[in-house]
Structure 1
Amino acid sequence: MGDRPRLAGAALGLTALLVPLTAAVGSAPAAAASGCTTQTGPYQRQVEKYMGRPVDGRQSPADCVATRKFQRWHGISPAAGYAGTVTWRTMSTILAQKAAGNTPNRAGRCPTNRGRIACVDLTRQLSWIQDGARLKYGPVPVRTGRDGAETRTGSKRVYYRSIDHWSTIYRVWMPYSQFFDGGQAFHSVTKSVHNPPGSGGCVNMRPADAKAYWNLLRNGDDVFVYGRKPGT
C-alpha cells in the first residue's frame, strides 16, 4: 500500500528518528527524467514543511525529489514524490515520536505499578521499557500489525524467547524474538520500521533496539499494548 498519484504519460519516520531534511533536490530536467509526479498532493504543505522545503502548497521538481528520497528510505511505494496519505502519515508518526522525548508515558496510559514492563503505543508506533515509574529504555520506533493483522491490545506477558528464531509461517528470520501473545513477538527487522503497511502482528524493531529488549526482558515480564495504529 502506498501513495498513488495519476502520472501523465507514465505508470508511474528523538533525532535519530528523522531522515535528514536537507535532501539533495537536483535540477528540474533531472527530476522530470526520474519519473517524478507533477501533481500536488493533499498533504503538500505538511510534507513541504517536514522536508524543510518552501511551503507554498504547490508541487515543484525540487519538492518531488526530496519527497521521493524520503519515500525510498522508508519503503513507501510508488516512490513518485506525491504528497499523499501514506507519506504524511509516516511523517506525522515520526513527529509524534520525536515529541514524546524522554517522557513517552506522560499520559499514564501504560501501567507503571507492575515493576518491569514493556509498553507499546500503537497510535504513535512507539515502545519503551519501564521499571515502575523509571524509564529504562526508549522510547523507540516500532512497526506493528497491518490492517487485518493488528497487534492485539491489552495486558500480556513474555512467554517464549528465541534469539535466532525462524518463522515457519513467513519463512524469514526473526532475530531476538520475544513472544508475548499467541505468536506475536518483539523482534528485529532490517527494513525501515516505518515501512508500510505493517507487520503480520509482531512488533518489529531496529536490530539494536531488539537486542536491548532481549537483554532487559525475561520470561514472565509484563507487556502492555494500547492505542490504534493509523490506517487500521
Structure 2
Amino acid sequence: MGTRSARGRAGRRSAVWGGAAALALPLVVVAGGGTAEAASCTPSTGPYQRQVEKFLGRPVDGRQSAADCAAVRAFQSDHGISPAQGYAGPLTWRVMSTMLAQRAAGGTPNRAGDCPVDRGRIACVDLTRQLSWIQDGPVLRYGPVPVRTGKDGAETRTGSKRIYHRSVDHWSTLYDVSMPYAQFFDGGIAFHSTAKSMWNPPGSGGCVNMRPADAKAYWQLLAKGEDVYVYGRKPGT
C-alpha cells in the first residue's frame, strides 16, 4: 500500500499544467466532494492561438492557459471537432474563420452578385462561406443561413441546378439515415435537415445539410422545378 500511494503522489505531481508530459488530465470536483479525471486537455500552444483567443473573447496573449484550453475544448466539443483537446490548430481556426465570414455576410449575402438573380426565385449556395439563402429576383427572401456541404472527395457539385424531387420524410438507403425535408437538385444531392452542427467537419456526403428550422423553411418556400445555384469552394476541399 505504501509503494502504491507513493506512486500515486508522484503521478499526480507529474500531471500538472505545463509539464513535459504530452497530455495532462486535470482533476475536477464532483458531487460528494470527490475528484474525477476530466477528459484530456493539451497544454500546448497552437499555431492559431492568438486568433482563437480573440474569437472566443479570451485574453489575447498567444500563450495557452488552462482557461484557454477549456474554452477551446468546449467549442470543439460543441461542433464535433476531433480531437477535442483544446489545441488551437488549423481545423479549429478554419471553422472559426468560416463563422466570421458568415457573420460578415450580414443581410446582404449576394453583395458580390455571384448568385444569378434574374430567374425569379432561386436558392443560392455559397460553398466558400458555407451559406445558403433564397432570393426572389434581387430581393432576399430567406437567410442567409449556415449550411454543411460535401467533404473532401464528396464535394457538393457547383453550377446551375433545379429541384427535381421532394420528400418530406425521406430515408436514405445509401447512408441508412433520416433526411427530413429532402429536396433533391443534383443526382443524389439534396437540401435536408440534420441534427449535426453546421460547423461539424469534415462535412456531408455531398448534400447541403441544414438546421431543422431552416430546412423546413426551404421546404415551404421552394417547389419542384425551382432554381438552385451552387458556387465557390468549401474550405479544406
Q: TM-score, normalised by structure 2?
A: 0.86
Identity over aligned pairs, percent: 76
* Alpha-carbon distance in structure 2 between the residues aligned to 1:43 and 1:9: 19
Q: Does 1:64 align with 2:64?
A: no
* Alpha-carbon distance in structure 2 between the residues aligned to 1:179 and 1:142: 15
Q: TM-score, normalised by structure 1?
A: 0.88
Structure 2 unaligned spans of 5+: 1-19, 30-36
Q: After superposition, where does 1:183-198 map in structure 2 within 5 Å?
A: 183-198=188-203
Q: Does 1:102 align with 2:97?
A: no
Does structure 1 retain, via aligned residues, the 8 Å contact 2:23–2:43?
Answer: no
Q: 1:30 to 1:61 in 2, by over 3 A?
A: farther
Secondary structure of 1:72's aligned partner: helix
Which of 205, 213, 223 aligns to 1:218? It is 223
Structure 2 residue aligned with 1:142: 147
Does structure 1 retain, via aligned residues, the 8 Å contact 2:23–2:42?
Answer: no
Structure 1 unaligned spans of 5+: 1-6, 13-27
Q: CA deviation at 1:8?
A: 3.3
* Alpha-carbon distance in structure 1 between the residues aligned to 2:96 and 2:23: 26
Q: Does 1:120 align with 2:125?
A: yes
CA RMSD of aligned residues (A): 1.8
Task: Give, as a single letter, the amino acid of the residue that structure 1 aligns with 2:159.
Answer: G
Structure 1 residue aligned with 2:160: 155
* Alpha-carbon distance in structure 1 between the residues aligned to 2:93 and 2:58: 15
Q: Which has the higher contact order (CA 8 A, sep 6+)?
A: 1
Q: CA deviation at 1:9?
A: 4.5
Structure 2 residue aligned with 1:51: 56
Which of 159, 162, 172 aligns to 1:167? It is 172
Q: CA deviation at 1:10?
A: 4.5
Q: 1:33 to 1:11 in 2, by over 3 A?
A: closer
Q: Which one has the largest radius of gyration?
A: 2
Where has structure 1 moved over 3 Å in runs of 4 or more?
Answer: 7-12, 28-34
Q: CA deviation at 1:210?
A: 0.1
